[in-house]
Amino acid sequence: MLETVASPGGANATDAERKLTDGFHLVIEALTRNGVKTIYGVPGIPITDFGRQAQAAGIRVISFRHEQHAGNAAAIAGFLTKKPGICLTVSAPGFLNGLTALANATTNCFPMILISGSSEREIVDLQQGDYEEMDQLAIAKPLCKAAFRVLHAADIGIGVARAIRAAVSGRPGGVYLDLPGKLFSQVIDAEAGQRSLVTVTDAAPAQIPAPAAVARALDVLKSAKRPLIILGKGAAYAQVDDQIRGLVETSGIPFLPMSMAKGLLPDTHPLCAGAARSTVLKDSDVVMLIGARLNWLLSHGKGKTWGDVPKRFIQIDIEPKEMDSNVEIAAPVVGDIGSCVSALLDEMGGHWPEPPADWTNAVRTKREENIAKMAPRLMSTRSPMDFHGALGALRTVIKERPDAILVNEGANTLDLARGAIDMYQPRKRLDVGTWGVMGIGMGFAIAAAIETGKPVLAVEGDSAFGFSGMEVETICRYNLPICVVIFNNDGIYRGTDVNAAGSDPAITVFVKGSRYDKMIEAFGGVGVNATTPDELKRAVDAAMDSGKPTVINAVIDPAAGTESGSIGKLNPQSAVRKK
Ligand SMILES: Cc1ncc(C[n+]2csc(CCOP(=O)(O)OP(=O)(O)O)c2C)c(N)n1
Ligand SMILES: [Mg+2]
């Protein structure tokens, strides 16, 4: 029920006067009636009281130390739940702090709504220097799917409904909702307010693929001698895990999971080609992309990575404009992933000729070879640890606790963990995504713990952790079951860089021998310094068993990493410099 506010007439006011409501109540009601249970944000003018009232009304309001992390939390909440995650910020600087997360959400197709309070429109538009003056709507527009501003309390219901639909329908993404400070205190008739609210029905309608597109895709697939399925995070987002498993197993086609699609089928599945990535990209002849884009992460579908074998692509995506974005798509299948995969399965009718055995055998052999090559490195017990030794311990943790959520960022720490740590369940691996952005760590970890109630293991490069490290206070404040392991190799990529001029420290190195574990102790959490894989494993197990907020400083050999992890080739090279 919509609460009413006291009318200006006080005790002597008539009943009719008393039945009023305001912007505060209407926004809260508009969100709750559409299933919003959690808001991630940072308070301040003009949204502090709104946050308080939302909390009092039963919405969980998680207060962060910086808006970027609240925004990242909202974004990954959207990915995990298929409902828009909500981030709430103050005007100008708070809004800008949230904007990186909004843009990142849009790039990664995570549904989120950034709600920011804003200053007096009349003053902002005349540029008369208001408190935190900024034309936020104009600035947000190019960075998100849609941006809306609500000026009248009677439009709050419609504004929130539009934001929700824009975030989750079609290809999901970030939406900006601008709520000027004055809106919250606007008072309108309670009944009219109630009538103005909207319950969004079927926010992300199914989009059924055309039968001809499905038939064409199956024709192309049938012609393949060396077929490959690539699963992207869109496939993980869709939450149609059984159908995707059905498609892979009915077709018998090897599959390659992109980073956040790992675990959709277990990495240990006999058809998983994760450990034979370069072979399958080079040697396949027909590639079916499911919720995966041919962007830089797949070398744009061409060039050396893809070898000399001519490829034909089948692409399943909800966004028609994705087709032919980098190379020709022979068989576009446009629709939501659930509908597309189901339609393909229906047409296949439960039977499909197995791919030629020489292909599936070749993939299996390569995969086993590569796994065998890595195995001894993962068992290394040397101290200081190298990445593989430490990852060997964490790989076992996830094997023993497959329902834990793994958050991962860094350079070497990211690339090597992706290969070393097998995932067994869908949507358990959350990482830097399409941009390779540092700073998602604590925001993702916090939302993962809150949205799923599962234990979270965040594996962080020491540089990566620094972007969101202050949020360990937030983790302690809400007593979340998050264990952060920091791969401390004294810097960005490695800790051995030297400044050629010999004055300041080199640009990639940090204070040697830092003790990140001490940071969390300041807030009552558990800190552990781990110097061997065995110590590391024991500390993580203890954290996961107790559920206590924990930071483990994993001491890694400063010389162990490589420049930019596995993407060093993207650094610009000049012939002049090489001479
Ligand atoms: C927002 C942002 N700023 C900067 C970068 C550039 N960058 C890529 S990886 C990285 C940190 C790598 O160091 P670390 O996290 O310690 O990982 P390591 O390779 O040492 O394991 C940085 C700063 C980025 N990707 N995103
Ligand atoms: Mg590092």
CB of 469 shorter than 6 A to ligand 1: no
Distance CA 452, CA 445 (A): 11
pLDDT at residue 15 greater than cutoff 70: no
What is the arithmetic mean of pLDDT over 171-190?
98
- Ligand 1 atom closest to residue 413's alpha carbon, by position in its atom list: 21
Distance CA 298, CA 257 (A): 11
CA angle centred on 528, ends 524 and 529, rounded to 5°: 140
* DSSP H helices in 82-232: 92-108, 121-125, 136-140, 156-168, 181-185, 190-196, 211-222
- Ligand 1 atom closest to residue 561's alpha carbon, by position in its atom list: 19
Paired tokens of 123 = 């003053």
pLDDT at 14: 58
Q: Is 452 exposed, middle or buried (0-12, 13-18, 19+ CB in 10 A)?
A: middle
Nearest CA, atom 20, ligand 1 = 493
Residue pair 306/312 in contact by the 8 Å Cβ criterion:
no
Phi, then psi, of 5 in degrees rounded to 5: -115, 155
* Gap from CA of 167 to ligand 2 centroid (Å): 35
Beta strands in 258-299 (DSSP E): 286-290
Nearest CA, atom 18, ligand 1 = 493
* Gap from CA of 576 to ligand 2 centroid (Å): 29
Between the alpha carbon of residue 520 and those of residues 214, 413, 525, the distances in Å are 53, 21, 5
Q: Would you place residue 23 in the very low, low, confident or very high pLDDT band (cuts 50, 70, 90)?
A: very high
Distance CA 338, CA 325 (A): 22
Number of alpha carbons in the 13 Å side-chain half-sphere of residue 98: 37
Average per-residue pLDDT in the chain?
Answer: 96
- 7-16, 434-443, 485-494, 538-547: lowest mean pLDDT where? 7-16
> Quick one: which ligand is closest to 101's CA?
1
b/e map 179-209, b = 16+ CB within 10 Å: bbbbbbebebbbeebbebbbebeebbeebeb
CB of 410 shorter than 6 A to ligand 1: yes
CB of 339 shorter than 6 A to ligand 1: no
What is the arithmetic mean of pLDDT over 94-105?
98
Q: Would you place residue 502 in the very low, low, confident or very high pLDDT band (cuts 50, 70, 90)?
A: confident
Nearest CA, atom 7, ligand 1 = 438
* Gap from CA of 462 to ligand 1 centroid (Å): 9
Paired tokens of 265 = 């089928």
Distance CA 360, CA 339 (A): 28
CB of 157 shorter than 6 A to ligand 1: no
pLDDT at residue 18 greater than cutoff 80: no
What is the arithmetic mean of pLDDT over 394-421?
98
CB of 360 shorter than 6 A to ligand 1: no
What is the arithmetic mean of pLDDT over 541-545?
98
Q: pLDDT tens across 149-163, in order?
A: 999 999 999 999 999
Nearest CA, atom 8, ligand 1 = 411
pLDDT at residue 577 greater than cutoff 60: yes
pLDDT at 10: 47
* Gap from CA of 251 to ligand 2 centroid (Å): 42
> Quick one: which ligand is closest to 561's CA?
1
Paired tokens of 427 = 């949507």
CB of 441 shorter than 6 A to ligand 1: no
CB of 464 shorter than 6 A to ligand 1: yes
Distance CA 54, CA 188 (A): 19
Beta strands in 381-498 (DSSP E): 405-409, 429-431, 456-461, 482-488
By most ligand atoms within 8 Å of CB, the mutation choice from 463, 486, 488, 497 for ligand 1 is: 463
By most ligand atoms within 8 Å of CB, the mutation choice from 107, 385, 493 for ligand 1 is: 493
pLDDT at residue 497 greater than cutoff 90: yes
- Ligand 1 atom closest to residue 462's alpha carbon, by position in its atom list: 16
- Nearest Cα neighbor of 387 from 415, 424, 423 is 415
- Would you call 566 helix, strand, or coil by DSSP? helix
By most ligand atoms within 8 Å of CB, the mutation choice from 492, 507, 508, 564 for ligand 1 is: 492
- Ligand 1 atom closest to residue 562's alpha carbon, by position in its atom list: 19
Paired tokens of 531 = 């110097």
CB of 432 shorter than 6 A to ligand 1: no
CB of 412 shorter than 6 A to ligand 1: yes
- Ligand 1 atom closest to residue 565's alpha carbon, by position in its atom list: 19
Between the alpha carbon of residue 563 and those of residues 16, 216, 252, 560, 573, the distances in Å are 70, 44, 38, 10, 13
Length of the chain: 579
What is the arithmetic mean of pLDDT over 361-386?
97
Q: Would you place residue 13 in the very low, low, confident or very high pLDDT band (cuts 50, 70, 90)?
A: low
- 3-7, 45-49, 85-89: lowest mean pLDDT where? 3-7
What is the arithmetic mean of pLDDT over 357-374?
98
Helix (H) or strand (E) holding 377: helix 357-378
CB of 489 shorter than 6 A to ligand 1: yes
- Give the residues across from 174 on adjacent strands: 112
Q: pLDDT tens across 235-262, in order?
A: 999 999 999 999 999 999 999 999 999 9
What is the arithmetic mean of pLDDT over 385-402?
98
CB of 495 shorter than 6 A to ligand 1: no
- Nearest Cα neighbor of 554 from 457, 485, 493 is 485
Name the packing angle between helices 533-546 and 387-400 (round to 10°): 30
pLDDT at residue 1 greater than cutoff 50: no
Helix (H) or strand (E) holding 177: strand 174-180
CB of 463 shorter than 6 A to ligand 1: yes
Q: What is the DSSP letter of 349?
A: T
- Nearest Cα neighbor of 220 from 290, 280, 287, 284 is 287
CB of 462 shorter than 6 A to ligand 1: yes
Paired tokens of 144 = 């998100």
CB of 525 shorter than 6 A to ligand 1: no
CB of 561 shorter than 6 A to ligand 1: yes
> Quick one: which ligand is closest to 459's CA?
1
Cα dihedral 135, 138, 143, 149 in deg (nearest 10): 80
CB of 68 shorter than 6 A to ligand 1: no
* Gap from CA of 177 to ligand 1 centroid (Å): 31
